[in-house]
Structure formats: C-alpha cells, structure tokens
C-alpha cells in the first residue's frame, strides 16, 4: 500500500473512532444498555487498532522526517484521548462526570486533528 492509501485509512479510522465514541458516550450518559453489547464493546478496539497501526506505518515510512514535535504530541494526546475516553464510557461514576469526560475527550480529539493538519504541537492556535 502506498503512503496516500495508508494516510486515507488513518484518517478514515480517526473519523470512525470519534463518531462511534460520541455515540457510545451518549449511551453511557443516558444509561442505554446497547453499550453492553459485545459488538459495541469490540468495535472501538478494532477501529483504534487500525488507527494506530496506520499511524505507526506512516511514521515509519516518513523515517527520520517523523521525529518532529508534532508527531510526539499526537502520540501523547492519543493516549490522553483513550484515557479520558474510558472515564466517559465506563470509569466515570455518575452520568455528569461521564458527560464532562466525554466533552474533554472530544476536545482533545479535535486538538489532535489540528496538530495533524498544521504539523505543529500548537494545533489550531499557530
Ligand atoms: C486520534 C488520533 C489521531 C487523529 C485524529 C489523527 C488525524 C490525522 C489526520 C487528519 C491526518 C491527515 C493530515 C493531512 O492530510 O495533512 C493525519 C496524518 C498523519 N498522522 Fe495522524 N492522527 C491521529 C493519531 C496519530 C498518531 C498517534 C500518530 C503517530 C504515530 C500519527 C501520525 C500521523 C502521520 C505520520 C501522518 C501523515 C502526515 C502527512 O503525511 O502529512 N497520527 N493524522
């Protein structure tokens, strides 16, 4: 697969990741039992694995050109997105705390999109 195809896969997986996250966060806040479905629990892992494997492949293809602050910023913030995301979906004790975590996770995600497009850790704020 060439670079552009993998980049396309990466971006598609990122879009699916946030769309599906927002749906699950909504179900988590409203207490919808669909959240307990096996397929609903497994799908995010599949999507996020594709997202990350494509990301690592892109970085590997870029080689030394990938050792830039914005790439490190994306890695750190992806871990933050996943961590805050688990509070929104399951670790948050009340619907309110899960809702707040969900909003923060979505904000982190769109900050990452800015980092990706601007190739800069300051994201939309450069
Ligand atoms: C939620 C997490 C992520 C989101 C939303 C995201 C989003 C994006 C987007 C929108 C692009 C396309 C940029 C463009 O067209 O110019 C992109 C490219 C890229 N991303 Fe990610 N990304 C994420 C995680 C990561 C991680 C963790 C890495 C580091 C290993 C990474 C490495 C890259 C690389 C190397 C490119 C190609 C840059 C280029 O060729 O211009 N991404 N990402």
Atom of ligand 1 nearest to the CA of 66: 35
pTM above 0.85, yes or no: yes
Q: Where are the domains of the chain?
A: 3-125
Nearest CA to ligand 1 atom 15: 117
Mean pLDDT of the chain: 96
Ligand 1 within 6 A of CB of 47: no
Question: What SS3 class is residue 32?
Answer: coil
Across the range 4-32, mean pLDDT stands at 98
| Residue 36 Cα to ligand 1 middle (Å) | 30
| Residue 28 Cα to ligand 1 middle (Å) | 28
Task: Specify the pLDDT at position 99.
Answer: 98
Across the range 73-79, mean pLDDT stands at 96
How do residues 102-111 score in pLDDT, each as one tens digit? Answer: 999 999 999 9
Across the range 63-82, mean pLDDT stands at 95
Residue 1 has pLDDT above 90, yes or no: no
Surface-to-core class of residue 104, CB atoms within 10 Å of its CB (0-12 exposed, 13-18 middle, 19+ buried): middle
| Residue 10 Cα to ligand 1 middle (Å) | 7
């Amino acid at each position: 697969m060439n670079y552009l195809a993998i980049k396309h896969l990466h971006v598609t997986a990122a879009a699916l990741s946030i769309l599906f996250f927002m749906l699950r966060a909504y179900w988590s806040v409203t207490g919808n039992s669909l959240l307990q479905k096996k397929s609903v629990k497994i799908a995010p892992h599949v999507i996020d694995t594709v997202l990350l494997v494509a990301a690592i492949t892109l970085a590997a293809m870029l080689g030394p050109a990938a050792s830039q602050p914005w790439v490190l910023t994306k890695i750190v913030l992806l871990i933050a997105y996943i961590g805050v995301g688990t509070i929104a979906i399951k670790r948050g004790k009340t619907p309110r705390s899960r809702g707040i975590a969900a909003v923060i996770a979505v904000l982190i995600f769109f900050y990452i999109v800015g980092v990706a497009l601007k190739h800069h850790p300051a994201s939309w704020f450069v």
